[in-house]
Amino acid sequence: MTGTVITGLGVTELGKVYGRSATSLAAEAVRLAVADAGLQLRDLDGLLVSSGTKQDVGVHLAAVLALGDLGLLAQVNAFGASAGVMVALAAQAIATGSATTVACVFADTPLQPQRPAGSAWDAPRAGARGARTLRGLAGWSLASGAASPNILYALCARRHMERYGTTSAQLGEIAVAQRAWAAGNPRAEMRQPLTVAEHQASRWIAEPLHLLDCCLVSNGAVAVVVTRADRAPDSRRPPVHIWGFGQVHAARQLRAGSDWGLVTPAARSGPQAMRMAGVGVDDVDICELYDCYTYTVLVTLEDYGFCAKGEGGGFVADGRLAPGGKLACNTGGGQLSAYYMWGMTPLSEAVIQARGDGGERQAPRNDVILVSGNGGILEHHATLVLSPHPARGGVAR
C-alpha cells in the first residue's frame, strides 16, 4: 500500500524480565518507538494495543502515556496475527484521514520466577477461578486430551507427515537454520549452534514435535510507529514502506473431510498482500514467518506458494533457509531461537532487515520482505509486504 510507512521501532528487554508489569513494558516500548521515529508522544493520534497470554494491557495504556485527542484507539486480539492486523488497521486509518501517526504495541509477561516456561499455557483446573465450562466440540477436545496448542499443532504436523511423507528431521532443518541466524542476533535467547541430530535427541513435547520444534516463552514488549510517507523525510531512521497487507480468519474445522492443519488461511492472506504490493513469491528476498512451531513455517511456505502443497519438507532441506541459503527466512532466529513476542517477532526483524540494521545477520537483499502472523491453531493469518523503497507499481529493483 502506497503512502504509509513504519518509521519507529521500540524493543524492551526481552526474555526473563521479572518484576515489571506488561503495561509498564508496553509504555516503554511505545516511548522507544516514538523516539526512534524522531517524534514526541504528543505527535501520536492513534494507539493500537495487543496483549498476550496475561491479557492485562488495554486501552488504559493511553492514559498511562498521557495521550489525548486520539482519532484511533483500540485493543486488538487476533492472537499471533495481531501485529499484522494492527499495522493494516493503522495504514487504513491513515489512508482515510482518521489518524496520521499510530503506535502499535504488543506486551506480555507470561514467564514467572521459579516456574517452568510451559506453565504459562496451563489452563485453570476445573472449578478454579477463571476456569471455563466447555461444552460441545470444545468439551470433546478437552476430554480427548486435544486441549493444548502443543497437542493440536502436533496433530497438524502428524497429518502432514501421514499425507505427504514429511519427516521430523525435515522439521529439524528449520530449527537448525533459524538457530544459525540467531547466532548473529544479540537479542536472541538461544545462540549456540544446533544440529539436526541434537534436534532429534531433544525430548518429545507432543509427538511428533520435539522440544526444539517449539517456540520460546518470553516477557517483554515491542512497538512500531506507522505514519504517512510524506512525514518520512522528518524521520530519525529510514522508513519502511508498507506495500501490501492481507488477513484471513477461518474457524478450526475438526471434522471428517476437512483440510484443517494441511491448508491454512495463509493460502489466501498471502496472495491478498502480494497482489496489493504488485509482487509474487519470486520477488521476495526475505521471509519473516511466524514460527510458534517448526511446522508453522513449513505449512506457511507451502500456502504462500514457495513450493507446492506437500513439498515443504523437501523445500526446507539442505540449508535452503539458513544463512547463505536460497531463501533468507527468520533472519533473527524467530520465535524458536530469538524471542516470542507473538507477531511482533517477525515484524520487528523485518523492520531491522529493511533498514539494513542486521549487522552480521543482514540478508544480502532486502527489497521485498514478506511478514506473516499466525493465530490460534492455524485459524488466523495476517500478511504484510514491506520494503525500504517507496512502492512504484511493483518491485523496486
Active-site residues: which are they?
290, 340
CA 272, CA 78: separation in Å to the nearest integer? 18
Strand ranges in 164-293 using DSSP code E only, listed in sequence order? 204-206, 209-210, 220-228, 240-249, 286-288
Q: 280: buried, middle or exposed (CB in 10 Å: 19+, 13-18, 0-12)?
A: middle
| Contact status, residue 378 vs residue 346, Cβ threshold 8 Å | no
Q: How many CB atoms lie within 10 A of CB 194?
A: 22
Question: Using CA atoms, how far apart are residues 166 and 164, in angstroms rounded to an integer?
Answer: 6
Structure-block grid coordinates of residue 138? 470444545
State the sign of the Cα–Cα–Cα–Cα dihedral 115, 116, 117, 118. Answer: negative
- Whose cell is 512451531? That residue is 293
**Between helices 294-304 and 149-164, what is the axis angle to 10°?**
50
User: What proportions of the chain, in percent to the nearest 5, are helix, strand and coil?
Assistant: 35, 20, 45
Region class of 101: left (phi > 0), else alpha (psi between -120 and 50), else beta: beta
Cα 327–Cα 368–Cα 298 angle in degrees, nearest 5: 40
The x, y and z cell numbers of residue 245, run together, are 497487507
Cα-based distances in Å from 308 to 107, 153, 300, 301: 36, 21, 11, 9
Residue 55, CA distances (Å) to 76, 108, 181, 320 in order: 11, 8, 31, 37
* Omega prior to 208 cis, within 30 of 0: yes
